[in-house]
Amino acid sequence: MSAGQAGRPDASMTLITEMMQRPLDPGYAAAAESRQRSGLAPATGHRSPLLVLVAVLIGALLTTSAMALRVPATGANTIKSDLVRRIEASRAHADGQTRLIAQLQLEINAAQAAAFGQQSQTGLAAELSRLELAAGTVPVTGPGLVLTVDDAPSRVDRNNPDVGAQTSKEFDSGKVYDRDLHAIVNGLWEAGAEAISINGHRLTARSAIRAAGEAILVDFRPLTRPYVITAIGEPGSVSVEFADNDGGSHLHLLANYNIRGDIQERDSVSVPGEPTLSLQKAQPVPSAVTKSAPATLRAPP
Amino acid sequence: MIPALGLLVGLAVGLFLHPAVPLALQPYLPIAVIAALDTVFGGVRAVLDGIFNDKVFVVSFLSNVVVAAFIVFLGDQLGVGSQLSTGVVVVLGIRIFSNVASIRRHLFRA
């Protein structure tokens, strides 16, 4: 430090100290000094036209920015909330139709029972309930296991619901895809499961597990993670065979990507039915049972 | 008083005429607003200190807005746009608070 300079202890912080202690533009002080030296009053008047013009400009700038910057956010939000509203309306309609189907199914069952009772076709009634059980239209219960598969935890934390959801074209290794569920469900069938449901949707002979965008759908119903697969079968043998076959090894492979899958054996699980199962083009091949039934009781499509 | 009326006139003009801002300039609007607020409060403090100069006010307004927008533009080109604009906002914010504090001392003796 030179002897002629008064060294302040905080001389190296001039940037911060200047900013905090001299916020007023030094131009004002300099201009005031020069005016005083030439004999004028230190402050100029308020009425110069240039000043008024600049004041108008500042006011216009403030309101223009406020209005210009406000619009984009609401534009995107209204579109998004409109789409969400339409989705919810359609889903409510679909749920209402499903309830109607279940109600009509009950009426059909009652009519069938009455018809069977009248004609004492107990053999046919037993055959019908066996077919319903196998086809998957009625809920079933029995021993089995519950397999829960979930996305990788890091991926879950990254999900930001505020960001506009766009279909990701890249393969995200931490996400459960429909082909993972294909392999797991196939493995369970192979291991001897008798009834399988995913997140409460029964898998029947007509069920498809597919992907739409980022969601996995079963029969057009989207699933949300975690994916809970309930299977009815002999718990010990099903889980052992599953671990041995392709489904189990696929699940094991997924663990490398932090996709969590855990299997729990239960003494009693229940799997819901799928009442909307129906066939329109397929006709039954005549067999001994159907030939012996009266024409009015042949199974309707 | 007259400049304050001018400010109100400008607010009304912006509100009713609703000038369209070109899309390329929209990212610089927030920083321009903060720079304008800084000069306005600096001007009010100069008035209360008795050393107001309209030429200095006009020049400092224009230069503040241009420099702030330029720094943000430079930051966007270099890829550090958000950091630089944060820095500009912090500095202008501190200046606004200091000016408002001395205005408060003048007006309320508190």
Q: Which domains are seen in chain A, by residue range?
A: 141-154+173-275 (3.30.70.1880)
Answer yes or no: is B76 within a domain. Answer: yes
- pLDDT band at residue A241 under the 50/70/90 scheme: very high
pLDDT of A162 > 60? The answer is no
Q: How many domains does chain B have?
A: 1
Q: Which domain holds residue B51?
A: 25-108
Residue A173 has pLDDT above 50, yes or no: yes
| Segment B84-100, tens digit of pLDDT | 889 899 989 988 988 88
Residue B42 falls within a domain, yes or no? yes
Q: Which amino acid is at B61?
A: F
pLDDT, tens digit, 9 for 90 and up, residues A226-239:
899 999 999 889 98
pLDDT at A14: 77
Helix (H) or strand (E) run with residue A131 in it: helix A122-135
Of A23, A55, A65, the CB nearest to B6: A55
**pLDDT tier at A114, thresholds 50, 70, 90:** confident
Give domain status of residue B64, yes or no. yes
Beta-carbon separation of A60 and B8 below 8 A: no
Burial A222-250 (b: 16+ CB within 10 A, else e): ebebebebbbbbbbeebbebbeebebbeb
Confidence of residue A132 (pLDDT cuts 50, 70, 90): confident
Name the residue of chain B whose CA is nearest to A21's CA.
Answer: B98
In a domain, B8, yes or no: no
Instruction: Nearest by CB to A61, from B32, B52, B53: name it.
Output: B32
How far is it, in rounded angstroms, from Cα A288 to Cα A202?
Answer: 30
Strand order across the beta sheet in which A201-202 lies: A201-202, A195-198, A227-232, A140-150, A260-271
Q: How many CB atoms are located within 10 Å of the residue A194 CB?
A: 17
Q: Using an 8 Å Cβ cutoff, are A65 and B14 in contact? A: no
H-state helical runs in chain B? 2-17, 29-49, 54-78, 81-108
pLDDT > 90 in chain A, percent: 19
Asked whether residue B102 is assigned to any structural domain, the reply reads yes
Residues A14-39 pLDDT 10s: 777 776 666 677 778 888 888 888 87
Model confidence, pTM:
0.49
Domain annotation covers residue B11: no
Position A166 pLDDT exceeds 50 = no
B7 within a domain of the structure (yes/no): no
Chain A CB contacts of B98 below 8 Å:
20-21, 23
Q: What are phi and psi of A149, to 5 degrees?
A: -120, 135
Which of B13, B29, B49 is the closest to A56 by Cβ? B13
Distance between CA A254 and CA A286 in Å, rounded? 46
ipTM over 0.85 threshold? no
Strand partners, A260: A150
Looking up tokens 């801002």 gives B21
**Cβ contact, residue pair A44, B13, below 8 Å:** no
